[in-house]
Chain A
Amino acid sequence: MHDQPSVSELVQAVKNFIDETAGPNLKGHAAFHARVASNALASVLRDLEQRPAQESAEAARLIELLGAEEEADVGALNRKLSEQIRAGTLTPETPGLLQHLKATTIAQVEIDQPRYSGLNTAKS
């Protein structure tokens, strides 16, 4: 299959259209939605670029924390992690738990809202 333009290039092109052509012609609530749409596409671009490496690092940490099977997917592992925290098997004192959650959340906010103030606090 072809990838010219690639998915990222197409998303970038639509974002350019919103930022440079459509957005400036909108007023009021529609103009606000155009900015939200542009920010959403910026998240899409970061997600495409950053998720593969971040999610495999997350999976590796989860497998170690939970002593799980290597082939389990991240969704199932996070469900299992949630259950064990809810059951009190894993607590803030559990070695590695807070560090894992922090690393995972930092990676998520880097994609979702990289300018969010809480991210700087977490990284400082």
Chain B
Amino acid sequence: MGSKSDFENSLHTLFTRVFGENASLETFRRLSGGASQETWALSGSGEEAILRRAPGGTSMARSSAAIGLSAEAKLISAAQDVGVPVPRVLHVLNDEDQVGDGFLMSWVKGETIARPILRNEEYATARDVLAGQCGAALADIHAIPLESAPPELQTSDGLAQIAQYEEIYRGFDAPRPVFELALQWLKANAPAPRPSVLVHGDFRLGNLMIDESGLVAVLDWELAHIGDPREDIAWLCVNSWRFGQSQNRVGGFGQLGDLLDTYNAKTGADITSKEIDWWETLGSLKWGIMCMIMYEAFRSGADASVERAAIGRRVSETEIDLINLLEAAHA
């Protein structure tokens, strides 16, 4: 991309193109969070929008499984059509915009950071209803017709994910006995697959917009794929995504029974909490290997930041979670 002033000029032109000739951009600021994509808040002439674009405008998928930003925009529209709470896509960036790859969406107000959502009094009511709301939202996501999904979406069930992550892990040649045991256990105990649905792929606090009354938008569809519905439910239960509130299996805020009651009632499925155990174990293993991938960026010299170095010392968090899960499975 060009200089900052080129970017500014392009933003002004974009804002007017989307909101009309009488609209002019007054303020824009980069929001924190979103390591893989840039998020900008734009406002002016009484209009507001969020710009989600590739870092520096250039697309660089955070993993081989990530879909592009234009596919993400299509998916968000498909989700809206079946009633999933999502931001409204206002405009998909094209070459003429000169802002890079990405899209403009409505500015949904709320909180995404887990700590205040799980601890602050203002979200007490939200916490009470959130498990059921997540069950309803996942039921709707899993009801998105596969034919309306963008063709970029890959198909990946549980065993395919084990193979994919095992290959990455083996590539590091840094054996971890706990991961070896988890891999063997997962392969030996794999459940029969359920019919494939559209899976969000990263449904957890951080990617959910929450206000005082609960869930207002499901964000970050970058890791969406076709797969097993239990993957999304279990990912929300992975202890890393309970942010310290281990006693609440669903995201640190709710109980799995509440989520499943709503989910099963809406979908007609009969998913049990016992079935979620295997997928939660896979989720912890995947997050552990993702942490190894991020540390590898430091080890290889690609990213010298202390953040990338230090995340290598979080792999052991997933190891202790895996030990707890394996111990429970063999109690």
Residues of A within 8 A of B (CB): 28-29, 32-33, 36-37, 39-40, 43, 78-79, 81-83, 85-86, 88, 91-93, 97-98, 101-102, 104-106, 108-109, 111-113, 115-122
Contact = CB atoms under 8 A, between A and B. Distances in A.
B178 interface: yes
A118 B324 contact: yes
A122 B323 contact: yes
A110 to B, nearest CB: 9
Contacts of A88: 184
Q: Which are the 5 A-B pairs with shortest beta-carbon distances?
A: A82-B175, A85-B180, A117-B246, A112-B313, A118-B320
A66 to B, nearest CB: 11
B330 interface: yes
B306 A121 contact: no
Contacts of A33: 305-307
Interface stretch (B39-47, B134-142, B237-245): B237-245
A21 B176 CA distance: 38
Interface string B294-331: 00000000000111011001101101110110110110
B250 to A, nearest CB: 15
B314 A85 contact: no
Nearest to A98: B327
A82 B177 contact: yes
Given A78-B175, A85-B184, A112 B314 contact: yes
Nearest to A101: B178
Contacts of B244: 115, 117
B3 interface: no
Contacts of A36: 306-307, 310
A108 B239 CA distance: 18
Contact of B180 (A82, A106, A115, A121): A82
B177 A78 contact: yes
B324 A92 contact: no
A113 B177 contact: no
B242 A105 contact: no
Interface of B: 32, 175-178, 180-181, 183-185, 239, 242, 244-246, 305-307, 309-310, 313-314, 316-317, 319-321, 323-324, 326-327, 329-330
Contact of A92 (B314, B319, B321, B326): B326
Main SS at interface, chain A: helix
Nearest to A62: B177
Contacts of B316: 105, 108-109, 112-113
A113 B323 contact: no
Nearest to B30: A28
A120 B326 CA distance: 16
Contacts of B242: 117
Contact of B177 (A29, A101, A116): A101
Contact of B319 (A28, A83, A85, A105): A105
B317 A92 contact: no
B310 A86 contact: no
23 contacts: A29-B32, A37-B310, A85-B181, A92-B185, A92-B329, A93-B330, A98-B323, A102-B323, A105-B178, A105-B319, A108-B316, A108-B319, A111-B313, A112-B314, A113-B314, A117-B239, A117-B242, A118-B246, A118-B320, A120-B246, A121-B239, A121-B246, A121-B324
Given A82-B177, A98-B327, 20 more contacts: A29-B32, A40-B309, A81-B180, A85-B180, A92-B326, A98-B326, A104-B177, A105-B178, A105-B323, A108-B319, A109-B316, A109-B319, A113-B316, A115-B244, A117-B242, A118-B320, A118-B324, A121-B239, A121-B320, A122-B323
B324 A122 contact: yes
Contacts of A92: 181, 185, 326, 329-330
Contacts of B313: 40, 43, 111-113
A70 to B, nearest CB: 20
Nearest to B321: A118
Contact of A122 (B180, B314, B320, B329): B320
A116 B320 contact: yes
A113 B184 contact: no
Contacts of A78: 175-177
B32 A40 contact: no
